[in-house]
Structure formats: C-alpha cells, structure tokens
C-alpha cells in the first residue's frame, strides 16, 4: 500500500504531525555516489519556509533539516555522497507554541479535514491540523531536492499563474521575476497587483485560491510507462496529493476539450538535433510517455479554509454551531504550493528515470 509513501524506485515515505515532536521522511532507492549535503536540501526548504512575507503564515520555523542516514564521506575524495541506502531526514518542530485549541478541538472547521479524519479514525490531532497540515509538505520539498540531484540535466521550475480570477499575462512571463516577489510570480506587473490584492484579502480575514504551473525542461523522450504508470497519471496523483489541490491538468488541459483535432495535435518537423514539435498542447506527454518537450503541469489550489469569517458548522457532539479560526494562516496557500509542486514533479521524474535506467549499474 502507499498510505504515506509515494514512488516505486525513488520512494518517499513521510511521517509527522504539525505540532508533534518532529516531521521526517525516508527517501529510498536513491542511487549511490551522488554528492548530497544538508545545505543542498536546506536551499529548497528555505524557499518554501513560512514567515517570509505577510502573505504566508507567520509561523516561525527555521525548518532545519538533518540527514540521519544514507550518506558518507567518499573514502577517496572525502566528498559526502549517497550510499544507495535509505536517506532518513528529520526536521524538529520548534514552534509548537502552547495554544488554546478548545475552539477547534470539538468543532469541525468547514473545508478542513477535521470532519473526515474523525469519521475515518474516530479521532484526530486537532493541534494545528496534525497530519493534514501543510507542514507535511516540507518533507516533500526535502525529498524533491534529492530528486533533482538524481536528474542533473533536468530543470524543474514552478510559477504562480493565477490568484482568484486574476491570471498573469503569459507574454510577460519572465522566470527571473520568480525570485523577486513573494508570490513566485513570473509576471512583474501582476506581482505588483497581487501585493495590493492579497493585502485586501488578508485584512478582510478572508482567503483566496490560486493556480500553479510547474515546468520541467530537459526531460528526455521516453519516460513514463503505459498503462497505469503513465507519466501524466503519476503527475496527476502527485499534484492532487498536495494539500488543498482540487484540479490538475497537463499541457492544454481542460482547454483541450475546446480544441479540434487539427488545433490540438502538435505537428512535428525534423530539426538539427532530432525531432521537434511545433507546439506543445500535449504538455510534453503523449500516451503517458514523455515526448522530449517541456513537461507542463498546472494545478488549482483552493482558498485556505482557516479564515476569520464565521462559518456554520457542527461539533463532535452533533450540535449546530459556528466557528472562525484565529491564528497564523496563509491568505493564499497556493503561494507556498509552488516549491511543493516543483518537488513533486522532480520526484515523479526521478522515479520514472530510475524505472527505465535502474538504481545502479549504469
């Protein structure tokens, strides 16, 4: 089963609750001899870290990752490398501030997993969302950092392309802008707009949804496997497993429903260095297998459910009541989903790469 594990050859198992002792993960199947330090992982974690702007939760967590196993100094070079054994990673929870949970302990927050965890397990860890908290995604980002090292020639980048009804202008897409605003937004002008827009959302105690796009360049043709391990099928599962994601699309996505066969089919020509496609409605995947074009995935993130506006709900005793959620929350959880989406893309690609090429022996 795969309750808390994803991947087959590049396998990631995560554990830990938002306000427990620690969160952690085990990355199994990583090939040996890959240089890997905590700094390599920390770099990606820092991009996801909360508290970096007023547009993400103010929870302050240094999120300092520790590698517990699976690496050693190479006996000849002294460089720390992977050994082929499982890589244990741990982040201790330092900001478990003592807090009054009486409000949410007995009430189900609409839009949250409170009700469903209780329905399934008979109890739930109400402290900060427990296992259902987005805090779990820190370990995905950590695993993704390792996945990137498995695929040195592949570049995975994500961008926020929509907040609420406001989409970026694709003609203004500039990857360099991503690092310059707190939204991972590639459209400079729209980023400026988002700043004002989200301030309004935040001040009103509300929240708003978003759409993220993740693009992988340098993916060789041939990754993915029919029929039930299609690259796009695995990407869909990976993205949909991220907290608050409600939709996933590849290439033209839902737009493909409106296209004719002539419009949708990406024509091919022979280029200097092999076949190239004249368009990429396919999003880099045909028949579940990569085409060699950029792999393009978009996913929709619903608005944060924890809002200051009171909502109708019921309590554990079955009585009607109201709830509103105080505390540190993102007005737009979609923002921090950008590095998480990148990480999932990297992990899925690494997994398929290793299925085709094997863990060792190349």
Q: Taking the complex as a whole, how short is the minimal distance between the CB of residue 171 and its own copies, in angstroms?
A: 21
Question: Which of 179/240 has CB closer to its own copies?
Answer: 240
Question: Which of 45/285 has CB closer to its own copies?
Answer: 285
Question: Which of 173/265 has CB closer to its own copies?
Answer: 265
Q: Taking the complex as a whole, how short is the minimal distance between the CB of residue 185 and its own copies, in angstroms?
A: 14
Q: Taking the complex as a whole, how short is the minimal distance between the CB of residue 253 and its own copies, in angstroms?
A: 4
What is the DSSP-derived secondary structure letter of residue 186? S
Exposed, middle or buried by CB within 10 Å (0-12, 13-18, 19+), for 223? buried
Question: Which of 165/171 has CB closer to its own copies?
Answer: 165
Residue 344's closest CA among 141, 43, 154? 141
Q: Taking the complex as a whole, how short is the minimal distance between the CB of residue 275 and its own copies, in angstroms?
A: 5
C-alpha span between 61 and 332 (Å, rounded): 19
Crossing angle (nearest 10°) for helices 337-357 and 137-150: 40
In order, the DSSP letters of 289-331 are EE-SSPEEEEEEEPPPS--SS-EEEEBTTS-EEEE---S---S
Question: Which of 171/274 has CB closer to its own copies?
Answer: 274
Q: Taking the complex as a whole, how short is the minimal distance between the CB of residue 200 and its own copies, in angstroms?
A: 11
C-alpha span between 115 and 327 (Å, rounded): 20
Q: Taking the complex as a whole, how short is the minimal distance between the CB of residue 16 and its own copies, in angstroms?
A: 4
Question: Which of 59/112 has CB closer to its own copies?
Answer: 112
Q: Taking the complex as a whole, how short is the minimal distance between the CB of residue 84 and its own copies, in angstroms?
A: 4
C-alpha span between 299 and 334 (Å, rounded): 9
The 3-class SS string of 16-83 reads: ECCCCCEEEEEEECCCCCCECCHHHHHHHHHHHCCCCCCCCCCCCCCCCEEECCCEEECCCCCCEEEC
Question: Which of 36/176 has CB closer to its own copies?
Answer: 36
User: In the chain, how long is the greatest CA-to-CA distance?
Assistant: 70
> Are 199 and 139 contacting, i.e. CB atoms less than 8 angstroms apart?
no
């Amino acid at each position: 089963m795969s309750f808390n594990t994803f991947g087959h050859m590049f396998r990631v198992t995560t554990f830990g609750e938002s306000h427990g002792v620690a969160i952690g993960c085990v990355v199994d199947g990583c090939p040996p001899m890959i240089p890997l330090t905590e700094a390599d992982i920390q770099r990606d974690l820092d991009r996801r870290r909360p508290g970096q702007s007023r547009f993400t939760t103010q929870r302050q967590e240094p999120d300092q990752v520790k590698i517990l196993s699976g690496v050693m100094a190479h006996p000849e070079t002294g460089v720390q490398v992977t050994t082929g054994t499982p890589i244990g990673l741990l982040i201790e929870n330092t900001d478990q501030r003592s807090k009054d949970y009486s409000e949410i302990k007995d009430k189900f927050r609409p839009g949250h997993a409170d009700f469903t965890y209780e329905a399934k397990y008979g109890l739930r860890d109400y402290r900060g969302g427990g296992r259902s908290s987005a805090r779990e995604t820190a370990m995905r980002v950590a695993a993704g950092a390792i996945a990137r090292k498995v695929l040195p020639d592949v570049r995975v980048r994500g961008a926020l392309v929509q907040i609420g009804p406001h989409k970026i202008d694709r003609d203004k897409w500039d990857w360099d802008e991503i690092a310059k605003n707190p939204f991972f937004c590639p459209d400079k002008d729209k980023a400026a707009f988002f700043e004002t827009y989200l301030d309004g959302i935040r001040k009103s105690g509300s929240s708003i949804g978003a759409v993220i796009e993740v693009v992988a360049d340098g993916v060789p043709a041939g990754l993915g496997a029919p029929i039930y391990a299609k690259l796009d099928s695995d990407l869909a599962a990976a993205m949909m497993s991220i907290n608050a994601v409600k939709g996933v699309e590849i290439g033209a996505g839902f737009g493909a429903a409106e296209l004719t066969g002539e419009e949708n089919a990406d024509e091919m020509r022979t280029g200097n260095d092999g076949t190239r496609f004249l368009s990429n409605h396919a999003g880099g995947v045909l028949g579940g297998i990569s085409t060699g074009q950029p792999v393009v995935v978009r996913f929709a993130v619903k608005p944060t459910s924890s809002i200051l506006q009171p909502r109708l709900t019921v309590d554990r005793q079955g009585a009607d009541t109201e709830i509103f959620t105080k505390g540190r929350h993102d007005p737009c959880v979609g923002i921090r989903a950008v590095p998480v989406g990148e990480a999932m893309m990297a992990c899925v690609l690494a997994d398929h790469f290793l299925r085709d090429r094997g863990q060792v022996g190349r």
